[in-house]
């Protein structure tokens, strides 16, 4: 499921997929928006990738601040 979600970072990929698994309403909403053509899958994938990369950057910054 959601194999189209790919980033350069395995953590980001797993984090987003885990959120979809834990939030079936979000997953169903995304499926519906894509199926109805309201949201373009490529554009959605890019937006997700951008957010996941931001999440990775934030996690890295927190880790660096702790050291």
pLDDT of 26-60, one tens digit each? 888 888 888 888 888 778 777 777 877 787 788 88
Q: Which two tokens stand for residue 17?
A: 């997929």
User: Residue 6: its pLDDT value, please?
Assistant: 61
Contact by Cβ (8 Å): 13, 52: yes
Dist. CA 40–CA 31, nearest whole Å: 11
User: Residue 2: its pLDDT value, please?
Assistant: 59
């Amino acid at each position: 499921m959601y194999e189209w979600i790919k980033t350069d970072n395995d953590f980001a990929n797993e984090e987003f997929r885990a959120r979809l698994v834990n939030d079936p309403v979000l997953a169903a909403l995304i499926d519906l928006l894509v199926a109805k053509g309201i949201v373009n899958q490529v554009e959605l994938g890019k937006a997700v990738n951008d957010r996941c990369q931001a999440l990775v950057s934030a996690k890295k910054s927190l880790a660096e601040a702790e050291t």
